[in-house]
């Protein structure tokens, strides 16, 4: 009896361990993403540009794109499976500081183009639900891009913005389907709460970022490529050439971290105030660098962070517009017509903190932000120039 | 092999080969080949400035010249490089490939031209690392 019981127990343990050994998918999405990146056929430069244009909705897929997508069908499957895994760890060694290698960022974006091209091809065939599922997978991959660093969040936001643009283009075809609209709304509400936050990324970066004397050569080369005014360039390069001691880089790191912490605080302000606070901080750094050479690194890097708040706000506003648009479509399906006024309680324009301006058009409706942002490459309909860009989102309805 | 055996072996070899001590006797040779000897002496006297031709010396000279030229070029090249490092912007292609994928490098690329610049820089690195672009079915295509 005892022997039988022992045998059963051993069998159960073996079965359980065998189950773990062959568990698929893995619990880390990055494993499958890396697999997809390795197997993905590298397109020629021309085809790569075409894929990006198709993904963004700027061009229709041609035969080359169609064949490419078909040849990468298994790669798409890996990426879609990876997107559904909740945990994603790219294997960063944060102790590497600013020399942390991030090869997956561009690969994520390229993969997003392939998924978006596939989504548009599915939509062309009339398989709208499947096409929207691809868009959701793109969103999830965008979330997986991570929020340890600001550059990750920029990539993440760009991927999510492309997914939203694709959704907006498919929406008219499902605008009569309550079931699809409700499903999509629920998916996007969940995703929007998990999209990496620039504020969090800057906080994380402040904790781990370090600049070391070994980064000096790269900094000098990087500074030269920035196209700074000649005086600024000479000063920055001179300071970096003069200092190769550890003490200088410790001070530079501390100063940079203090700036990031202040940026994080400024991010909590509404957009216009946050933008103003960051512009003031930029001027402060320009003054500090005259007295403290170690501030030169922050001086070189900071103007990017200054722009982040605008890009972050733009992408979140677009997300809100899509969510608001879906709610308006649902009102139309339930009542048989578009509402005359914007329904209450919809997500807002984050540039102004106010509701979107709602307008019915011959083809559907538009939502326009009340605040002004900055020029961008999201493929949205924009009016104005430079810093006076007004974001307008067009939604069409099925006839 | 012991000492006794070695001596015995030496004796046997000597007997077999019969190799007495061989020494060159110049005087005996001069007498035996007097005509040829006089001919050689006369040649040396009539062409005292003509050196015997050898392939070795020119090769050594050429090698020496090449070495000196190479040294001078290397020296000037290093100086030029040092000056270039100070004055001429370093091309992106000149950098270590994986360094161009660092957080710092990608952030600076972003500052230059947004995410498209990040993509462009990353693609350059992937190409440098041997991930060639393809137009037709590649290994990835075969595996899919």
Q: Mean pLDDT, to the nearest integer, of B4-16?
A: 61
Angle between helices B103-128 and A296-335 (to 10 degrees): 80
More confident residue, A31 or A214: A31
A44 touching chain B per CB within 8 A:
yes
The maximal CA–CA distance of chain A, rounded, in angstroms, is 89
DSSP state letter for A72: T
pLDDT exceeds cutoff 80 at B134: no
Tell me the per-residue pLDDT of A1-29, one tens digit each, with 9 for 90 and over. 556 666 666 666 655 555 556 689 999 99
More confident residue, B10 or B90: B10
pLDDT exceeds cutoff 60 at B2: no
pLDDT exceeds cutoff 80 at A137: yes
More confident residue, A276 or A134: A134
Q: How far apart are CA A278 and CA A295, in angstroms?
A: 16
Q: How far apart are CA A263 and CA A225, in angstroms?
A: 25
Q: How far apart are CA B70 and CA B65, in angstroms?
A: 8
Q: Which residues of B touch A105 (CB under 8 A)?
A: 106, 118, 122
Q: Mean pLDDT, to the nearest integer, of B64-84?
A: 67
Q: Mean pLDDT, to the nearest integer, of B69-89?
A: 58
Confidence of residue A119 (pLDDT cuts 50, 70, 90): very high
Question: Shortest CB distance from A42 goes to which of B111, B125, B138?
Answer: B138
A272: nearest Cα among A379, A378, A370, A380 = A370
pLDDT exceeds cutoff 50 at A246: yes
DSSP-based three-state secondary structure for A73: helix
Would strands A357-360 and A364-373 be described as parallel, antiparallel, or unpaired? antiparallel
pLDDT exceeds cutoff 50 at B101: yes
Q: Mean pLDDT, to the nearest integer, of B20-46?
A: 63
- Whole-structure pTM value: 0.75
Tell me the per-residue pLDDT of A284-305, one tens digit each, with 9 for 90 and over. 998 998 888 889 888 887 777 7
Out of A259-268, A290-299, A381-390, B73-82, give the one with best mean pLDDT. A259-268
Q: How far apart are CA B65 and CA A139, in angstroms?
A: 67
Q: Mean pLDDT, to the nearest integer, of A308-329?
A: 93
Which residues are A367's β-sheet partners? Answer: A358, A393
B106: nearest Cα among A199, A120, A339, A152 = A152
Which residues are A359's β-sheet partners? Answer: A366
Q: What is the ipTM of this complex?
A: 0.85
Query: Which of A215-229, A339-353, B107-121 is predicted with the least confidence, judged by mean pLDDT?
Result: A215-229
DSSP state letter for A44: P
Confidence of residue A280 (pLDDT cuts 50, 70, 90): very high
A contact test, residue of B111, B114, B128, B143 with most A CBs within 10 A: B111
How far A226 CA lies from chain B's nearest CA (Å)? 6
Q: Both tokens of residue A74?
A: 């298994």
Q: Mean pLDDT, to the nearest integer, of A245-254?
A: 91
Angle between helices A104-124 and A128-144 (to 10 degrees): 170
Instruction: Quickly count: other Cβ atoms within 10 Å of residue A121's Cβ.
Output: 19
What pLDDT shows up at residue A20?
57
What pLDDT shows up at residue A164?
96
The maximal CA–CA distance of chain B, rounded, in angstroms, is 97
Q: Both tokens of residue A338?
A: 């578009």
| Secondary structure string (H, E, C) spanning B29-47 | HHHHCHHHHHHHHHHHHHC
What pLDDT shows up at residue A380?
36
Q: How far apart are CA A200 and CA A209, in angstroms?
A: 14
How far B59 CA lies from chain A's nearest CA (Å)? 44
A:303-332 residues touching chain B, CB 8 A cutoff: 303-304
What pLDDT shows up at residue A21?
61
CB spacing of B110 vs A154 below 8 angstroms? yes
Q: Which residues of B touch A224 (CB under 8 A)?
A: 89-90
CB spacing of A301 vs B131 below 8 angstroms? no
In chain A, where the domains are located: 21-196, 202-308
Distance of CA B133 to the CA centre of its chain: 36
What pLDDT shows up at residue A348?
96
Are the C-beta atoms of A373 and A351 separated by less than 8 Å? yes
Distance of CA A192 to the CA centre of its chain: 11
Between the two ends of chain A, the Cα-to-Cα distance in Å is: 74
Q: Mean pLDDT, to the nearest integer, of A41-62?
A: 95
Q: Both tokens of residue A367?
A: 């939502």
DSSP-based three-state secondary structure for A350: coil
Query: Which of A130-139, A156-165, B44-53 is predicted with the least confidence, judged by mean pLDDT?
Result: B44-53
pLDDT exceeds cutoff 90 at A44: yes
What pLDDT shows up at residue A143?
97
Strands of A389-396's sheet, edge to edge?
A357-360, A364-373, A389-396, A381-383
């Amino acid at each position: 009896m005892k022997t039988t019981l022992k045998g059963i127990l051993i069998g159960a343990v073996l079965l359980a361990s065998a189950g773990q050994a062959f568990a698929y998918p893995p619990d880390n999405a990055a494993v499958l993403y890396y697999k997809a990146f390795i197997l993905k056929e590298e397109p020629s430069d021309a085809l790569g540009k075409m894929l990006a244009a198709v993904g963004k909705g700027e061009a229709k897929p041609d035969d080359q794109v169609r064949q490419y997508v078909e040849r990468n069908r298994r790669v798409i499957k890996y990426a879609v499976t990876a997107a559904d895994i909740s945990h994603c760890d790219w294997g960063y060694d944060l102790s590497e500081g600013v020399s942390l290698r991030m090869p997956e960022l561009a690969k994520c974006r390229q993969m997003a183009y392939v998924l978006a091209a596939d989504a548009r091809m599915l939509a062309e065939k009339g398989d709208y639900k499947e096409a929207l599922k691809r868009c959701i997978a793109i969103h999830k991959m965008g979330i997986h891009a991570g929020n340890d660093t600001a550059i990750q969040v920029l990539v993440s936001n760009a991927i999510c913005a492309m997914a939203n643009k694709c959704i907006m283009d498919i929406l008219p075809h499902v605008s009569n389907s309550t079931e699809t609209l409700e499903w999509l709304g629920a998916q996007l509400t969940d995703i929007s709460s998990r999209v990496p936050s620039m504020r969090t990324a800057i906080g994380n970066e402040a904790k781990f970022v370090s600049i070391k004397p070994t980064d000096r050569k790269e900094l000098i080369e990087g500074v030269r490529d920035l196209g700074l005014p000649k005086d600024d360039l000479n000063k920055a390069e001179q300071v970096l050439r003069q200092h190769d001691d550890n003490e200088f880089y410790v001070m530079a790191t501390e100063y940079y971290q203090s700036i990031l912490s202040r940026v994080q605080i400024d991010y909590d302000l509404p957009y216009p105030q946050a933008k103003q606070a960051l512009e003031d901080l930029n001027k402060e750094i320009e003054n500090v660098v005259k007295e403290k050479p170690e501030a030169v690194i922050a001086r070189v890097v900071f103007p990017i962070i200054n722009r982040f708040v605008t890009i972050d706000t733009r992408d979140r506003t677009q997300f809100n517009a899509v969510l608001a648009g879906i709610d308006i479509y649902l009102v139309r399906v339930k009542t048989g017509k578009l509402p005359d006024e914007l329904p209450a309680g919809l997500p807002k324009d984050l540039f102004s903190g106010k509701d979107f301006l709602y307008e019915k058009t011959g083809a559907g409706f538009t939502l326009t932000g009340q605040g002004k942002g900055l020029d961008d490459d999201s493929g949205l309909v924009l009016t104005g120039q430079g810093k006076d860009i007004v974001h307008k989102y067009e939604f069409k309805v099925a006839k | 092999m012991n000492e006794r055996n070695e001596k015995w072996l030496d004796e046997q070899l000597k007997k077999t080969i019969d190799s007495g001590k061989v020494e060159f006797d110049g005087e005996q040779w001069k007498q035996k080949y007097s005509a040829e000897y006089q001919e050689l002496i006369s040649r040396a006297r009539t062409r005292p400035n003509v050196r015997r031709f050898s392939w070795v010396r020119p090769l050594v000279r050429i090698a020496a010249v090449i070495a000196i030229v190479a040294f001078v070029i290397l020296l000037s090249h290093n100086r030029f490089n040092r000056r270039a490092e100070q004055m001429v912007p370093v091309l992106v292609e000149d950098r270590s490939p994986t360094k161009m994928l660092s957080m710092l490098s990608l952030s600076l690329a972003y500052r230059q031209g947004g995410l498209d610049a990040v993509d462009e820089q990353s693609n350059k690195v992937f190409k440098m690392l041997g991930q060639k672009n393809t137009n037709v079915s590649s290994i990835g295509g075969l595996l899919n």
